[in-house]
A and B are shown apart, each in its own frame.
Chain A
Amino acid sequence: MKVAVDFNKCTGLGICESMAPDLFEVNDDGELVLLKEDITDDELQSVEEAVAGCPTEALRIVR
């Protein structure tokens, strides 16, 4: 499983970083950096929360 970011929608609010910091980080310029794409089973729940919590609906999980 992977996570995909639509960077046309993302504005770097960073909710995803607060839920899954191993995958997401917002940099000094306010842009989201995808630290890794692959989601482990342990990370799935937090990534699902990040997907649901994204105010720009920019994230999705690709199974």
Chain B
Amino acid sequence: MPDRGIENCALNAVRAQGRSLVRRLVVVGASLAGLRAVEAARKTGFAGDITLIGAERHLPYDRPPLSKEFLEATEPGAEARIPFFRSDDVFPELDVELLLGEPATGLDVAGKVVHVGHRQVGYDALVIATGSQLRTLPGTEHMDGVHGLRTLEDSLCIRAALDAGARTVVVGAGFIGSEVASGARKRGLEVTVVEALPTPLVRAAGAEMGAAIASLHERNGTTLLCGRGVAAVEGDGCVERVALDDGTHIDADLLVVGIGVSPSVNWLEGSGLTIENGVVCDETLWTGAPGVYAAGDVANWLNPVFNVRQRMENWTAAAEQGAAAARNALDPENAKPYGTVPYFWSDWYESRIQFVGVPDSEEVLLVDGDVDADDRWTALYRKGDRLVGALTVNGQTVIMKYRRMIAQKSSWRDSLEFAEKRLASALAKTVGRDG
């Protein structure tokens, strides 16, 4: 048996290398996780140098609105508000050096240097928060009218096409594609969503609930075609028609590709970090290299709440991990585990979809509402005798109660009892109102 005490000492020694001498924090990735990393560093009182490196030329901005309210029609002449997180005077106030507009290209963990093209940026502590990049539809990269949705520019292009009344085809019935479809429908445009799998959202919500959520499309006048792939995107320089593998052709002026993302880790090739579905980290978001932590979409970390490895692609994890990674990077000897009950939301048409926990389960039970008839419903996910997940459509008043119950490792039985109580009290309210 290895001596855990000695092993831990050795580990702490590696973690602590340079610890007493953290003079320079570098954060790679200037989106939500990166922003929260630099803000958390200053909040803890770190007075050394901070450099924030971002591939995009913009100051950090919020991405969820890009597929939601940013796509909504505005008054003629009015421009949509760009959802910057902070005004430009905030960064000088925080004394953060910004290196924007050029991506990091390499990492040397022995020399403690980040390469940005020819420039070398030395660090004592590093937070990797480079996020993820879009998967593309091969052969359409240079065709006009074909867009993914990740950046502000992507969203501006889609917005302009919707303003022009584009007949819209969305490939991929995931959350981003579905939000764009919803935005186009709200403007009264013709929209078709094409999904390669027989049921959408299986990975996010399970088969039964994936189908239930997807039914919102048909209810709102969006055509949903599942089990169909794109055979060809036709048009002379600009998309005109989408050919599906079952022979169907759909006329289109706008094709939005929402077929997922992959973690942005190419620049870490040869760095020696373990790359496997993102940057592999322990429960404190430490990558195993001295002073190097990861946060957000790139971080594949051990989530102590479920004791499983996870890589999140959601707002909450990016915000919290950014702050946690920075705090731990600045004080590795006292690094704290980061655990969470995952949470994401998506707004489609007039419905808010919310999910807490993990969808990997043995049973999914609808505890409130009828997915075919009602505007609001709640489903619970069981693994063993524990509640591990909850999904609501327009169930804002209960979803976070279930999030707490999952965090507290509530039993399945207690969770069902709670659901029954909620139903009874809702019924009493209705009776009271009607009577």
A residues within 8 Å of B by Cβ? Answer: 12-15, 17-18, 21, 25-28, 30, 52-53, 55, 57
Contact = CB atoms under 8 A, between A and B. Distances in A.
Given A53-B320, A55-B64, A28 B403 contact: no
B352 interface: yes
A15 B397 contact: no
Most B CB contacts (10 A, CB to CB) among A21, A26, A55 go to A55
A52 B320 CA distance: 7
Contacts of A57: 85
Interface pairs A-B: 6 shortest CB-CB: A18-B400, A17-B400, A30-B396, A18-B403, A14-B400, A26-B396
Interface range, B side: 20 to 34
A28 B404 contact: no
B319 interface: yes
Contacts, number: 47
A44 B350 CA distance: 35
Contact of A15 (B64, B316, B426): B316
Nearest to A24: B400
Contacts of A15: 316, 343, 400
Nearest to B399: A14
A23 B113 CA distance: 45
B316 A26 contact: no
Given A12-B396, A26-B400, A55 B320 contact: no
Nearest to B86: A57
A14 B343 CA distance: 11
Given A25-B397, A26-B400, A52 B319 contact: yes
B315 interface: yes
Contacts of A53: 316, 319-320
Contacts of B394: 30
Given A21-B404, A30-B352, A55-B64, A14 B396 contact: yes
7 contacts: A12-B396, A14-B354, A17-B401, A18-B343, A18-B400, A18-B403, A30-B394
B316 A55 contact: yes
B323 interface: yes
A2 B235 CA distance: 59
A55 B403 CA distance: 16
Interface in B302-360: 315-316, 319-320, 323, 341, 343, 345, 352, 354, 356
Given A13-B354, A26-B400, A55-B64, 7 more contacts: A13-B345, A15-B400, A18-B341, A21-B404, A26-B396, A52-B319, A52-B320
Contacts of B343: 15, 18
A21 B316 CA distance: 18
